[in-house]
Amino acid sequence: MSESLFVVDGDVYEATELATGPWSPDALHGGPVSALLAYLLEAMSSGEGMFPARLTIELLRPVGHQPMVVALEVVRPGKKVRVCEARLRLRDDDSSYGFLARGVLQQIRHDEIELPADHRSVDPQESAPSNPDDEPVSAGRFIEGEPTAFHNTAVEHRSPSEFFIQLGPAFDWIRVVPDLLPGVPLTPLARVAAAADFGNGVSATLPIPPYLFVNPDLTIHLNRLPVDEWVGLDARTRVGDAGVGYAEAALFDRHGRIGRSVQSLLIDRLS
């Protein structure tokens, strides 16, 4: 079995079986796609002193196991705010509508700013509900007998909740085990991106089957990066009456709160 989520040859990327998603063996999980785009966007940084404050991923079409290339662009250069964009497409499809996914990273200058001692903040040291070292390992499967996929093989889940089995809000610690690329581990930002895409699965309110709840996007806001490989999600899903919903998660590392993520959801029945 592969030891990375993607392999790379020059500027061409191809997913391994470890990046496969839960909905189809031909489509990737959003987590590896988000992690790859986050890694490439972060690598565009013009220098130190910029913090990845917001990452938005749009999954425009199903991303599969075919060879892919990425176009990178600095949309807004700046010393205090900088915006970069990455567009993922099939290697052999250069049409204007051929993009599979798009990522936008907004960076804000990172500096020590003296604040008044009595400034008001909402529990800036909010602690995580649990510690990954103290929680049992979860199988991370929607159903028994699932084939190899990202969520059940490439990720270690530790949780006080029986998510994927018991529906509703849940907390999950997530650690991506393989490298992103051969010999290239995930960066802290890529780890957050990979973990945050689990929000809708961890807090599912509908059973699989007969339902699916696909997120065509993911937005992450951060005020710091995780201190190690573990990212915690305190997640919940809200579903409306018209087949539309959203999942949101408070994001943690073992030292406390690091940010928030939100996903729009397409609710449907499996055919």
Rounded to whole angstroms, what are the CA distances from 23 to 176, 190, 235, 263? 20, 22, 20, 17
**pLDDT of res. 251:** 97
Pairing of strands 155-158, 170-176: antiparallel
**pLDDT of res. 197:** 97
Domain count, the chain: 1
The domain in which residue 234 lies consists of 6-110+128-269
Q: What backbone phi and psi angles, to 5 degrees, belong to 215?
A: -100, 115
Indicate the angle between helix axes 188-196 and 30-42, nearest 10 degrees. Answer: 150
**pLDDT of res. 220:** 98
Residue 233 belongs to a domain: yes
**pLDDT of res. 103:** 98
Residue 234 belongs to a domain: yes
Residue 160 belongs to a domain: yes
The 3-state DSSP class for residue 165 equals: coil
Residue 115 belongs to a domain: no
Residue 119 belongs to a domain: no
Contacts of 154 (CB under 8 A, 6+ apart): 5, 18, 19, 32, 176, 177, 178
Peptide bond into 62 cis (omega under 30): no
**pLDDT of res. 112:** 75
Residue 123 belongs to a domain: no
Digit-by-digit pLDDT tens for the chain (271 residues) are 579 999 999 999 999 999 999 878 899 999 999 999 999 999 987 667 899 999 999 999 999 999 999 999 999 999 899 999 999 999 987 666 679 999 999 999 987 777 777 776 766 567 888 899 999 888 766 666 678 899 999 999 999 887 777 899 999 999 999 999 999 999 999 999 999 999 999 999 998 878 889 999 999 999 999 999 999 999 999 998 889 999 999 999 999 999 999 999 999 987 6
- Alpha-carbon distance of 264 to 262, in angstroms, equals 7
- pTM, rounded to two decimals: 0.93
* Spacing of C-alpha 181 from chain mean position: 16
**pLDDT of res. 115:** 75
CA atoms within 13 A on the CB side of 68: 26
The closest of 160, 243, 155 to 206, measured between CA atoms, is 243
Residue 118 belongs to a domain: no
* Spacing of C-alpha 63 from chain mean position: 15
Contacts of 57 (CB under 8 A, 6+ apart): 30, 33, 34, 37, 38, 101, 102, 103, 193, 197, 217, 218, 219
For position 212, which CATH number holds? 2.40.160.210
Residue 116 belongs to a domain: no
Q: What backbone phi and psi angles, to 5 degrees, belong to 229?
A: -75, -15
